[in-house]
């Protein structure tokens, strides 16, 4: 079971602090978990470009797809790589910039009250078994730490930004993941 240390960092994760975060609004309790899918370049895995994007270090010359991304300021709390390893960018008490314009259950600005977990993957490519195992373990742990996060409050990016986002996509096996919770 991963441990959260006092300052909101998982002891079991690799830490790569992102500047793309800020304080949550006062009285904004964490009560939502948003699951994302990302690959950089699109459809490619394991090169470390996602980490560079979240830390504002993406080289726009490294790939044609990076030119428009290099100026973005985005982050997530966690990234689960294809092999199940975890990178943490933002402590849980802070607001990561992962959901953008979003709403859940009639409440806008999901970044204010959510934790964002990115899975290295695409809408079309099945996610790895190791990712499901780690995601389920982390989700259970986060539900213990933040009891307002219930299974019904674990959603995809597509659920909070419909029409704008599609991830984690049809390749994400929600029934499998929910059975693992």
Active-site residues, by number, are 118
Q: What is the Cα–Cα distance from 111 to 44, expressed in whole angstroms?
A: 27
Quote the strand ranges of the chain, DSSP E: 14-15, 21-23, 32-38, 78-80, 86-88, 94-96, 103-104, 107-108, 114-120, 154-156
Q: What is the Cα–Cα distance from 28 to 71, expressed in whole angstroms?
A: 28
Q: What is the Cα–Cα distance from 5 to 126, expressed in whole angstroms?
A: 32
């Amino acid at each position: 079971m991963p441990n959260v240390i006092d300052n909101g960092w998982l002891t079991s994760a690799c830490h790569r602090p992102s500047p793309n975060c800020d304080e949550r609004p006062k009285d904004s309790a964490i009560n939502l978990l948003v699951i994302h899918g990302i690959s950089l370049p699109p459809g490619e895995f394991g090169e470390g470009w996602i980490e560079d994007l979240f830390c504002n270090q993406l080289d726009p010359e490294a790939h044609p797809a990076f030119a428009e991304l290099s100026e973005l300021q985005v982050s997530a709390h966690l990234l689960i790589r294809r092999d199940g390893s975890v990178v943490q960018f933002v402590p849980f008490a802070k607001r990561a910039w992962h959901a953008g314009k979003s709403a859940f259950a009639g409440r806008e600005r999901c970044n204010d009250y959510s934790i964002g977990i990115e899975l290295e993957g695409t809408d079309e490519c099945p996610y790895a078994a190791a990712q499901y195992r780690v995601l389920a373990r982390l989700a259970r742990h986060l539900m213990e730490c933040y009891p307002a996060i219930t299974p019904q409050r674990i959603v995809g990016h597509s659920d909070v930004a419909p029409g704008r986002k599609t991830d984690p996509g049809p390749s994400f096996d929600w029934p499998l993941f929910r059975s693992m919770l």
